[in-house]
Structure 1
């Protein structure tokens, strides 16, 4: 089983991740500094999840997944400050 994402989590932004190669159902839990913010049982892998990241710059985001065979994976990220890639100045 594998957890993958195309970008790191940014504060006040949407964060997308997927979990592949597991046996259904897959129990997915997301924590910020040990506090659960999201939980779902994915019935049909691969699992594609989207969550909103709160204003928690520097906090530890932990994703865990456990499948029906008992396989367990975990991945940790540090929540970064949002970046504005629009090319416009806010000054």
Structure 2
């Protein structure tokens, strides 16, 4: 989901590569969003994520990926540099 003409997405769409922020501050790479942000019964918002390998295997086999919930505030959409460059250099 993007806000604006060509700005980077703020929340991941299913299938987009994402990076996760761990509790110790480490950035975890190699994950894919399986869902859009969803709220749950205790009032939090999560994104279901799977490893790249599991996501690929599930798509190839035609089954849902085995995934885990991650707090939406600690999920960052990973974009190729050329998309960021276009966003920073575009004129409005």
TM range (shorter): under 0.3
- Higher relative CO (Cα under 8 Å, sequence separation at least 6) belongs to 1
State TM-score, norm by structure 2.
0.25
- State TM-score, norm by structure 1: 0.25
Structure with more strand by fraction: 1
The structure that is helix-richer by fraction is 2
